[in-house]
Amino acid sequence: MIRAFLFDFDYTLGDTTQGILTCIGYALEKLGFPPADREAARRTIGLSLPAALERLTGCAQEAAGREFSRLFMEKADEVMVASAALYPETLPLLTALKAGGSATAIVTTKARFRIEGILDKYGAGELVDVIVGSDTVSREKPDPEALNTALALMHIPAAEAIYIGDNTVDAACARSAGVAFAGVLTGTTARRELEEYPHLFIARDLGQLRRMLAV
C-alpha cells in the first residue's frame, strides 16, 4: 500500500530549463570556462551543481565546484522562480493525492526555498507536505539521505512510499533508500536507461503515470 508519494522536481513536476541554462552560462563565464552546449547542459539537470560542472568541463576541483554553485545560486535568485513552469498534469495529480489522503513530498537538488517560491507562484503550497532540497541535507542524490529525511518527516516507512523521477540519479536514490521507483520520460533520460534500475512503472508523463497508479 502506497501512503506517500515523493517527487523529484526538475523534468518531473516542472520545467526550469531556461533558468538553469541561464545560471549555468553565467557561472561558467564568471569562472572563465567556454559556454556549454545547450543539450549537454540540459542533461546535467538533476545533478548536484559540482557534478554538473565536472560533467560540462571535466573540472572536479572542490573549490571550483563551490564557486560554481555560489555563482549559479547568485543568478538563480534573479531568474529561477520567474522562469519556472509546472507541467499541466502536476496540479491535478497533487490535488487528487491530497484529496485521497496521501502524503506528498518533493525531494530535489534545488534549494527548498526555491521550490516554495515556485509552488507559491501557482498557489500550490498546501498540496505538498514536505520539501527536502539541497539546503536541507549534507549529501545530495543519489545518496539516500534526502529521501530518508523526507520519510522521517512524514513518519512513513520506505515500504509504504514511492519516489517518482525522470533521471537515473532519482532511480539510484530510490534503490539506495529502499523505496519503490516510478519513472517519467519528460526529461532527458531515455526509457532504456531508467529500465536498468528497479521500477514499478515507467510512464510517458505524469498523466499516464496517474492512470497506472490509479490515483
Q: Looking at the structure, tell me whether residues 127 and 65 fall in a common domain.
A: no
Q: Looking at the structure, tell me whether residues 124 and 198 fall in a common domain.
A: yes
Q: Which three cell numbers stand for residue 155?
A: 513518519
Does residue 1 surpass a pLDDT of 90? no
C-alpha span between 97 and 47 (Å, rounded): 27
Q: What is the mean pLDDT of residues 175-195?
A: 97
C-alpha span between 211 and 215 (Å, rounded): 7
**For residue 22, what are the domain limits?**
17-83
Q: Looking at the structure, tell me whether residues 62 and 95 fall in a common domain.
A: no
C-alpha span between 158 and 207 (Å, rounded): 24
Q: Looking at the structure, tell me whether residues 181 and 149 fall in a common domain.
A: yes
Q: Count Cβ atoms below 10 Å from residue 168 Cβ, excluding itself.
A: 17
Does residue 106 surpass a pLDDT of 90? yes
The one-character DSSP state at 85 is E
Percentage, residues of the chain above pLDDT 70? 100
Q: Looking at the structure, tell me whether residues 76 and 129 fall in a common domain.
A: no
- The pLDDT confidence band at residue 15, using thresholds 50, 70 and 90, is very high
User: For residue 103, is it left (φ>0), alpha (ψ between -120 and 50) or beta?
Assistant: beta
Q: What is the mean pLDDT of residues 142-164?
A: 97
- pLDDT tens digits, 52-99: 999 999 999 999 999 999 999 999 999 999 999 999 999 999 999 999
Q: Looking at the structure, tell me whether residues 163 and 195 fall in a common domain.
A: yes
- The pLDDT confidence band at residue 46, using thresholds 50, 70 and 90, is confident
Averaged pLDDT score across all residues of the chain: 96
Tally of domains within the chain: 2
Q: Which residue has the cell 497506472?
A: 212
